[in-house]
Amino acid sequence: MLVTVAGPSDEVVARRVMQTAGLAVQDVHVQYGKHQLDAHLARYNRAAQFGPWFVLRDLNSDADCAPALMTRLLPTSSAGMRFRLAVRTIEAWLMADSEKLGGFLAIDRSLLPARPESVPDPKLELVNLARRSRKREIREDMVPEEGVASKVGARYAARLIEFASRHWRSEVAAKRSDSLARCIRVLKEWGRK
């Protein structure tokens, strides 16, 4: 199956989700931004007439709910297209495995939100959690330096990739993330066809 995502950390998450669903990844197209992904979505949808495609994107604050954004971006899906949105971002899916993320960040897991998909800005929430880490390396990597315009630290994405590839349990996270649970369910059903 061919996969398209908006960024490198999303690629690792998509691969883990596919693995949980029992599906093999043939190739991953990383678009380096949701605007790039959105611009090519119609082309991927056309390609999905001839083979299976899984496209994963963050909802962010681009719409009030996932169905509204999905309808706006892709009014009609090809039979081979599975387009899914992480509510609000991939970070919410990662926070849903609070036990493993708490350990990775070296914080008390009770600090993680009970309902990560209800957090307005999961990326900011994750950075703020990293600020409380007992590990200096986590704080230095994930939290932006004072006076820097970036909202995240220089190695933020690298740390997300490390966590998602080595520690994150998508099947556990799905118990606290509705959009992740739906994504896995859709992919599993597709795999049975």
Distance CA 66, CA 38 (A): 14
Amino acid type, 59: L
Q: How many domains does the chain have?
A: 2
69 and 134: one domain? no
164 and 105: one domain? yes
End-to-end alpha carbon distance in the chain: 14
Rg (alpha carbons) of the chain, rounded to whole number: 16
61 and 153: one domain? no
As a three-state string, the secondary structure of the chain is CEEEECCHHHHHHHHHHHHHCCCCCCEEEECCCHHHHHHHHHHHHHHCCCCCEEEEEECCCCCCCHHHHHHHHCCCCCCCEEEEEECCCHHHHHHCCHHHHHHHHCCCHHHCCCCHHHCCCHHHHHHHHHHCCCCHHHHHHHCCCCCCCCCCCCCHHHHHHHHHHHCCCHHHHCCCCHHHHHHHHHHHHHHHC
In this predicted structure, the answer to whether residue 193 has a pLDDT above a threshold of 80 is no
Distance CA 17, CA 185 (A): 10
165 and 182: one domain? no
Task: Summarize the confidence of residues 96-109 as an average pLDDT.
Answer: 98
80 and 99: one domain? no
Tens digit of each residue's pLDDT (9 = 90 or more) over 156-166: 999 999 999 99
Task: Summarize the confidence of residues 186-190 as an average pLDDT.
Answer: 94
Residue 144: the pLDDT is 97
56 and 147: one domain? no
Query: pLDDT-based confidence at 183, cuts 50/70/90?
Result: very high
In this predicted structure, the answer to whether residue 101 has a pLDDT above a threshold of 90 is yes
> Which domain range does residue 29 map to?
2-88+171-192
126 contact partners, CB below 8 Å, separation of at least 6: 91, 94, 95, 142
Residue with tokens 């081979």: 80
In this predicted structure, the answer to whether residue 151 has a pLDDT above a threshold of 80 is yes
10 and 81: one domain? yes
Claim: this prediction has a pTM higher than 0.85: yes
Task: Summarize the confidence of residues 157-184 as an average pLDDT.
Answer: 98
159 and 175: one domain? no
97 and 164: one domain? yes
68 and 160: one domain? no
Query: pLDDT-based confidence at 122, cuts 50/70/90?
Result: very high
70 and 39: one domain? yes
15 and 64: one domain? yes
Residue 192: the pLDDT is 80
Tens digit of each residue's pLDDT (9 = 90 or more) over 42-90: 999 999 999 999 999 999 999 999 999 999 999 999 999 999 999 999 9
